[in-house]
A = this chain, B = another copy of it.
Amino acid sequence: MRYRIGEVARLSDCKVETVRFYEQMGLLPVPARSSGNFRLYNESQLGQLRFIRHCRSLDIPLEDIRRLLVSQKHPEENCADINQLIDEQIDRVESRMQSLQQLRKQLVELRSQCSGKMPTSSCGILQGLSDCACHYPAER
């Protein structure tokens, strides 16, 4: 069974342009072509596309996905790299969560500076943003 690009896109929940983009990035093998020059995919290529999409839903960068695909093609090798790659991804996610936590605190604090309908000249939010004590050069 062979699929055209619109079908693999639908079957992997992504856009046609994205499939072409992955091909261009070398994440998908160059597909066969129909007589009318349409891309034709088989089950295995669809599987690889779904693999990529699933990785992307975990926010794994394309470069790391490339490494995972290479690992997949070497079934005899040790999988330590894969575990490390996921560990690094978890680290990235956790550190982003931490900075968002910080950010939220600062935004809520800022938001509390204004009660509502004021002239902008006395809006506590604008003032809080202007009276910035942090964006000064590091003291020496």
Contact = CB atoms under 8 A, between A and B. Distances in A.
Interface string A33-71: 000000000000001001101110111000000001001
Nearest to A94: B104
A100 interface: yes
A77 B119 contact: yes
Nearest to A89: B107
Q: Is the interface of A mostly helix, strand, loop or mixed?
A: helix
Which of A47, A51, A138 counts the most B-chain CB atoms under 10 A from its CB? A51
Interface of A: 10-13, 47, 50-51, 53-55, 57-59, 68, 71-72, 74-80, 82-83, 86-87, 89-90, 93-94, 96-97, 100-101, 103-104, 106-108, 110-111, 114, 116-121, 123, 125-126, 129-130, 132, 134-138
30 contacts: A11-B137, A13-B135, A51-B130, A54-B129, A54-B134, A57-B134, A58-B107, A59-B103, A72-B126, A75-B120, A75-B121, A76-B121, A77-B119, A78-B119, A78-B120, A79-B120, A82-B125, A83-B111, A83-B116, A83-B125, A86-B107, A86-B125, A87-B111, A90-B104, A90-B107, A93-B103, A93-B107, A94-B104, A96-B100, A97-B100
